[in-house]
Amino acid sequence: MIPNEDQTQIRDMARDFARGEIAPHAQAWEKAGWIDDALVAKMGELGLLGM
């Protein structure tokens, strides 16, 4: 199935968010066993938590 324009935009936004906001901190968060509450808030604002 070929994604439509909306799906492509969501995918690109999620990818950019993961690369810019998650990847730089992922190793430290994994080691600490938690993620920053501010990250979860940003994910909610972007609509990434209800998928």
Please give, one letter per residue, the 3-state secondary structure of the chain.
CCCCHHHHHHHHHHHHHHHHHHCCCHHHHHHHCCCCHHHHHHHHHCCCCCC
Segments making up each domain of the chain, as ranges: 24-51
Q: For the whole model, what pTM was predicted?
A: 0.82
Residue 2, pLDDT score: 87
Q: What is the pLDDT of residue 51?
A: 66
pLDDT tens digit sequence for 10-47: 999 999 999 999 999 999 999 999 999 999 999 999 99
Other beta carbons within 10 angstroms of residue 18's beta carbon come to: 13
